[in-house]
């Protein structure tokens, strides 16, 4: 079997210098930028090791000076079955990433990893796999909207991939991307944080995910960015695991591989945000 291919972005240009979500803390970063940069490098290396130990092959792309949040390539694009559609960022601070990710992904067209590359229409904000998560069990995309991505991106996703897309409206600025509060697992369970969703979105989740497959994260799990996880086969890679989420996943037979990602949590991102699965396939 082919090993999972995951794109990550080198953290050399990572910092926390602006605030576009409630977790971001430039003052704390500024108190000692050199120490935070060192810690970010160590965290990145630890995440890389954990993903490789879980069976992935990593593609490390260089970052770009002045685009600190490029270390979160989950927001770069939505990828499925060799087709990729590049994001349109809602915040001016990240819009420069669109061209940078487009250039990075073009290489994979040449390599044959991707067969098609498009971009959302201008003004149609959609922040990549952070807000469009493929669920192989149910054969559909769950699409977050209402904070960064717009509802108008849903028909674009449907058109481009020709797949079912289930919109999930996000209720709070804390959980501004779907990947911060929603994570389908390989066994068909869905790990999610209910208070992040509007009543309508919760009703949709309940309709499509039977009670036995609902794993509800606690407030502590969600604040520790443990829902923002990468599931590779039976291993779930995440930021330092709160006891509740660890027990819940272990009871279902998953192995939790947790990594100290505190420098990136200072920017409001965790393990899933820091990855883009290049070989995401509809059947798995
Ligand atoms: N500071 C980044 C932002 O606010 C963090 C992005 C995290 N990415 C994610 N997919 N949740 O955009």
Torsion, Cα of 274, 277, 283, 284 (10° steps): -50
Question: What pLDDT digit, counting tens, does each position of 136-150 carry?
Answer: 999 999 999 999 999
List, chain by chain if needed, residues with CB within 6 Å of any ligand 1 atom: 20-21, 24, 69, 72, 74-75, 94, 130, 177, 179-180, 267-269, 273
Decide if 101 is inside a domain.
yes
Q: Whose CA is nearest to atom 9 of ligand 1?
A: 273
- Cα–Cα distance measured from residue 190 to residue 227, given in angstroms and rounded to the nearest whole number: 10
145 CB-near residues (< 8 Å, 6+ apart): 131, 151, 153, 154, 167, 168, 169, 170
Decide if 193 is inside a domain.
yes
Decide if 266 is inside a domain.
yes
Full residue range of the structural domain in which residue 63 is found: 5-277
Cα of 230 vs centre of ligand 1, distance in Å, is: 15
Decide if 119 is inside a domain.
yes
pTM exceeds cut of 0.85: yes
Cα of 74 vs centre of ligand 1, distance in Å, is: 8
Decide if 47 is inside a domain.
yes
Q: Choose which residue among 267, 274, 276 to substitute to test ligand 1 binding: the one with the highest number of ligand atoms within 8 A of its C-beta.
A: 267
Q: What is the CATH number of the domain that holds 43?
A: 3.75.10.10
Decide if 284 is inside a domain.
no
Question: What pLDDT digit, counting tens, does each position of 14-46 carry?
Answer: 999 999 999 999 999 999 999 999 999 999 999
Ligand 1 atom with the shortest distance to the CA of 176 = 11
27 and 251 Cβ atoms separated by less than 8 Å: no
- Cα–Cα distance measured from residue 63 to residue 41, given in angstroms and rounded to the nearest whole number: 13
Does the active-site annotation cover 273? yes
Decide if 82 is inside a domain.
yes
State whether residue 183 is helix, strand or coil.
Answer: strand
| DSSP state letters, 259-280 | E--HHHHTTT--TGGG-EETT-
For the chain, how many structural domains are there in total?
A: 1
Q: Angle 133-214-161 (CA atoms, 0-180°, nearest 5)?
A: 20
Question: What pLDDT digit, counting tens, does each position of 171-198 carry?
Answer: 999 999 999 999 999 999 999 999 999 9
Decide if 90 is inside a domain.
yes
Does the active-site annotation cover 177? yes
Q: Whose CA is nearest to atom 7 of ligand 1?
A: 269
Percentage of residues in the chain with pLDDT exceeding 90? 98
63 and 12 Cβ atoms separated by less than 8 Å: yes
- Across 211-225, average pLDDT: 98
**Residue 284 has what pLDDT?**
79
């Amino acid at each position: 079997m082919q090993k999972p291919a995951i794109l990550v972005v080198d953290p050399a240009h990572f910092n926390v210098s602006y605030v576009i979500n409630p977790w971001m803390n430039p003052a704390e970063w500024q108190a000692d930028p050199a120490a935070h940069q060192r810690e970010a490098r160590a965290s990145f290396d630890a995440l890389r090791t954990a993903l490789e130990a879980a069976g992935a092959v990593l593609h490390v792309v260089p970052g770009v000076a002045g685009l600190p949040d490029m270390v979160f390539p989950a927001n770069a694009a939505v990828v499925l079955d060799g087709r990729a559609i590049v994001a349109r960022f809602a915040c001016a601070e990240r819009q420069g990433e669109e061209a940078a990710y487009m250039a990075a992904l073009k290489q994979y067209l040449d390599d044959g990893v991707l067969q098609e590359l498009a971009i959302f229409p201008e003004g149609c904000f959609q922040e990549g796999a952070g807000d469009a998560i493929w669920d192989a069990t149910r054969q559909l995309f769950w699409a977050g909207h209402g904070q960064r991505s717009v509802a108008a991106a849903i028909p674009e996703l449907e058109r481009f991939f020709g797949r079912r897309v289930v919109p999930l409206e996000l209720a709070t600025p804390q959980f501004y991307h779907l990947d911060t509060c929603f994570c389908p697992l390989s066994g068909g369970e869905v790990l999610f944080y209910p208070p992040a969703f509007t009543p309508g979105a919760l009703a949709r989740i309940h309709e499509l995910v039977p009670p036995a497959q609902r794993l509800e994260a606690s407030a502590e799990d969600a604040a520790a960015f443990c829902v923002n996880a990468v599931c590779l086969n039976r291993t779930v890679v995440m930021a330092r695991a709160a006891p509740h989420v660890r027990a819940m996943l272990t009871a279902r037979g998953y192995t939790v591989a947790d990594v100290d990602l505190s420098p990136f949590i200072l920017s409001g991102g965790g393990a899933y945000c820091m990855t883009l699965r290049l070989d995401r396939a509809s059947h798995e």
